[in-house]
Amino acid sequence: MKKTFTINVSGIIFHIDEDAFERLNNYINSVKSHFSNVEGKEEIINDIESRIAEILQEKLTDSKQVINIEDIKNVVSVMGQPFEFDENEEQEKKEESYYYQARPVKRLYRNTEDSVVAGVCSGIAAYFHADPIWFRIGFIIALFSGFGFFLYLILWIAIPEARTTAERLEMRGEKVNISNIEKSISDEVGNLKEKLNDLTNQAKTTYKKKSTQYKPGYDHVLIAFGNIFKYFFKVIIIFIGIILFLVGISFFIAFLASIFGWGGFVINEHSDIFIGQFPIFADRFLGGVENIGLLRVGLFFLIGVPIIMLLYSAVRLIFNIDKIRYIGFTAFNIWIAGLIITAYFAFRILKDFRYQDYSKKEYVIEQPKSDILYLDMEQNRGYNYYNDNEYVVICDDDVIITEDGKFFREPMLRFEESNTDQYQMIIYSYARGKTRNAAKKLAAKTIYNINQEDSLLTFGSYFELPDNVNWRDQYLKIEFLIPIGKKIHLSYDMDEIIDYHRNYYPYNLPGKTWIMTTSGLKREVDEISLKGEKESGQEVKIKLKKNHFILNILSCTLMM
């Protein structure tokens, strides 16, 4: 809906939109001022007006009864701007005035038409014919150094505001003549129209905003501070956008690299960089997925699309781009498709994890001649421990996967009382499968090495999966049975595989000798450990002596 005026142009009545009226009025005024010194100006203007009326008349039809701004623009372009009428006798006069004002006056004004706070930066920029953004950035930087605020305040007070069109022309260093003023006014009218449109849009969303902005003489400082706040808000938004963009781009590169194996994928574990190949991992973990391409597409939709949306929103924040229609909807649909594809694979793989079972194997221990067994760890780990970019460690040093897809995991060792008078060792290997039977079969494939030489038992530090066996949550439990009265000695390295969840024996098992009693493992003090405990032993003795001494004193006093 628009407000219209009724005007009379050389005897004909027109209905005209408000903005169109403003434009026409400006135009006719500029024509009038152009011909103000010409003989017979009334006649010329009347002729022009009647021609305008004629053109406008042609624009109207039964369905279009109101003159709009486009019509006026058309009229102006047909009739021409006053400075285009130059082909008349005024030319000589004009040249005189041209010489008179050959050097246009340039003055510093505040440009309140294009202002963030008070138009200081904009005015300075107009003076130097530069983009105000550089001065604004300069002031923001100066703001942080402290004096920027006061400098701005001083300039705000010192520099006058460009109020009239002539002043605005002076601000830009343009000649103050009729044609320039006319041009400037039509620019301003155009700007005003845009501003009005903006305002109506704003008013639609927040009525409140409008009322504060359009109270004449309302607290100007408050509005200025509001503008400062708005500007800072914009800066913050852009800053957030940049951060989002950086995060998004790194996610995206990492993700693409991992999915499509562009140079392998990177896991950063304890700041060690590990490079793996997706196909090997997919194969090892997921196992038997013949259509790996589809899985990639699914993963791309599921993970890649949100990352892309993150990037998109970052770009929108930075460059203040309008929302593209349906993009969110489309992205959501693609994401759902990715979810379905991935879920399909997930369910297929999940089926493989349905049942758990174990296979039990007894390792026959050659009984030692003395009643002590020494337990130690194999130093060779099956992978190069020191080349830590060739493997990755998962679950607190529990699971190790090497670059070429080899899979290692620590077994769990626990000690129990034996019913017989023999050392026994039972190895339970667990796995999961579609059926119990499959799980059991898979479990049996686990490789674990133990060696015995006389009374020295060497345990492997990890169990291993053969290359053709998929990862199905395999783990290994070793039950070590010790007859009562028999001893074991544990090397310090044994710490790695001892299952401390069994709570009935002391925690610091390694590096010491232990004897099995009816109430679990007990400390056996042997020569090796005595050396280490000499000092503490002395302490005990001293304590005993002290006690003795006190007792002595007590008894003495009693005796007395």
Partner 1 sequence: MCCMVLKMYYICKMNLEKTKAQMRKGVLELCILSIISESDVYASDIINKLKESKLIVVEGTLYPLLTRLKNEGFLSYRWEESKSGPPRKYYQITEIGKKVLEELNMNWQELVEAVNNIIIKEESEVETNQ
| Site of interaction with partner 1 (CB under 8 A) | 9-12, 31, 35, 38-40, 43-44, 47-48, 50-51, 53-54, 57-58, 77-82, 84-89
Smallest separation, CB 51 to partner 1 (Å): 6
Burial class (CB in 10 A: 0-12, 13-18, 19+), 92: exposed
Sequence letter at residue 102: A
CA neighbor of 373 nearest in space, from 486, 249, 460, 277: 486
Smallest separation, CB 16 to partner 1 (Å): 16
Dihedral of CA atoms 503, 506, 510, 516 in degrees, nearest 10, equals -90
89 or 535, CB closer to partner 1? 89
CA neighbor of 192 nearest in space, from 5, 2, 23: 23
Token couple for 286:
């997921």
Smallest separation, CB 165 to partner 1 (Å): 21
> What values do phi and psi take at 404, rounded to 5?
-90, 20
Four-residue CA torsion sign, 527, 531, 533, 536: positive
Dihedral of CA atoms 517, 520, 521, 524 in degrees, nearest 10, equals -30
CA atoms of 380 and 213, how far apart (whole Å)? 78
CA neighbor of 494 nearest in space, from 505, 483, 486: 505
Contact 352, 287 (CB under 8 A): yes
Smallest separation, CB 44 to partner 1 (Å): 5
For residue 35, the tally of other CB atoms under 10 A from its CB is 20
> What values do phi and psi take at 235, rounded to 5?
-60, -45
> What values do phi and psi take at 242, rounded to 5?
-65, -40
Four-residue CA torsion sign, 244, 246, 251, 253: positive
Smallest separation, CB 335 to partner 1 (Å): 54
48 or 126, CB closer to partner 1? 48
Smallest separation, CB 168 to partner 1 (Å): 23
79 or 286, CB closer to partner 1? 79
Smallest separation, CB 324 to partner 1 (Å): 41
76 or 412, CB closer to partner 1? 76
Cα-based distances in Å from 217 to 112, 115, 220: 15, 17, 7
Contact 190, 200 (CB under 8 A): no
29 or 333, CB closer to partner 1? 29
79 or 450, CB closer to partner 1? 79
Smallest separation, CB 106 to partner 1 (Å): 16
CA atoms of 263 and 277, how far apart (whole Å)? 8
Token couple for 65:
């009864």
User: Got the DSSP string for 347-372?
Assistant: HHHHHTTSEEEEEEEEEPPPPPSSSE
Cα-Cα end-to-end distance for the chain: 120
26 or 112, CB closer to partner 1? 26
81 or 452, CB closer to partner 1? 81
Smallest separation, CB 172 to partner 1 (Å): 17
* Pairing assessment for the beta strands 12-17 and 66-67 based on DSSP bridges: parallel
Burial class (CB in 10 A: 0-12, 13-18, 19+), 299: buried
84 or 194, CB closer to partner 1? 84
Smallest separation, CB 222 to partner 1 (Å): 44
Smallest separation, CB 121 to partner 1 (Å): 25
CA atoms of 293 and 299, how far apart (whole Å)? 10
CA angle, residues 538, 543, 547, in degrees to nearest 5:
145
Smallest separation, CB 33 to partner 1 (Å): 14
Smallest separation, CB 27 to partner 1 (Å): 10
The distance of Cα 292 from the centroid of its chain, to the nearest Å, equals 29
78 or 554, CB closer to partner 1? 78
Residues whose CB is less than 8 angstroms from the CB of residue 401 and which lie 6 or more positions away in sequence, other chains included: 276, 281, 284, 391, 392, 394, 407, 408
**DSSP state letter for 214:** T
60 or 116, CB closer to partner 1? 60
Residue 259, SS3?
helix
58 or 396, CB closer to partner 1? 58
87 or 322, CB closer to partner 1? 87
Smallest separation, CB 43 to partner 1 (Å): 5
